[in-house]
Amino acid sequence: MVVRGKFDEDLKTLHEKLLELGNFAVHALNQSLAALENKDIELALKILEDDAEANLLEEEINDFAILLIAKQQPVAVDLRRLIVAIKIATDIERMADFAVNIAKSTIRIGKEPLVKPIEHIKLMHQLSVEMLKLSLEAYNEEDLGKARQVAQMDDQVDDLYGQTIKELLSLAQTKPEQLAQITQLSFISRYLERAADHVTNIAENVFYLVKGKRYDLNQ
């Protein structure tokens, strides 16, 4: 039997930890793009070092949610809240991992000039971060309209990803001496596209939380 007052307090704590992890991922993604744009290797290395914090937060969220399930034996919407928290934490942590991957690619590119302007990559990054913020609002407010908007923005990221890869493949033909950097820029584009997919997973979990059934928002 769930003791309501204490359980609500525990849910609030879990909720706050999840938002903290989300804010961490937003910051890490912003830092990773800044490192790429400015060829800031020290900043890229700091992103790698700071990633342990995201891993720790995800573990705390998972352990706390599992403890609440074991102790309180919640049912219906309360159980969904705990399951959704675990799933969302996993998706957010993966986004922090993508920030680390972008930082690693930045280190590999080093100080050499970029082979092309990275406007599409910057747009993909901007959309991914906006999507993450919006998905956290959707979760916080249980707002299905915002969750649906996240899925629509994912289509824009997919389109930008397709354009970017096409441009980079064309560059690989005309500037084969820059293939190593072109490959890293392709990886970065892929990391951002995957990050947006993970945000869409968060939006789908908001639907599950509110409606009690699964929706595929990528269709």
pLDDT per residue as tens digits for the range 190-218: 999 999 999 999 999 999 999 887 777 76
Mean pLDDT, residues 115-135:
95
In this prediction, residue 73 carries a pLDDT of: 81
179 to 3, 32, 101, 168, 172: CA distances (angstroms): 61, 22, 18, 9, 6
pLDDT higher than threshold 90 for residue 61:
yes
Q: Token pair of 50, please?
A: 């700071």
Cβ-based neighbours of 88, under 8 Å, separated by 6 or more:
18, 139, 202, 205
Can you tell me the distance from the alpha carbon of 34 to that of 28, in angstroms, rounded to the nearest whole number? 10
pLDDT higher than threshold 80 for residue 106:
yes
pLDDT per residue as tens digits for the range 157-192: 999 999 999 999 999 999 999 999 999 999 999 999
Mean pLDDT, residues 8-31:
94
In this prediction, residue 2 carries a pLDDT of: 53
In this prediction, residue 219 carries a pLDDT of: 59
pTM of the model: 0.93
Q: Average the pLDDT over each of 50-54, 57-61, 62-66, 212-216 and give the range with the smallest value.
A: 212-216
Q: Token pair of 38, please?
A: 């400015």
In this prediction, residue 212 carries a pLDDT of: 83
Can you tell me the distance from the alpha carbon of 159 to that of 189, in angstroms, rounded to the nearest whole number? 11
In this prediction, residue 110 carries a pLDDT of: 95
Q: Please, which pLDDT band fits residue 48 given cuts at 50, 70 and 90?
A: very high
In this prediction, residue 3 carries a pLDDT of: 62
Mean pLDDT, residues 62-69:
93
In this prediction, residue 7 carries a pLDDT of: 82
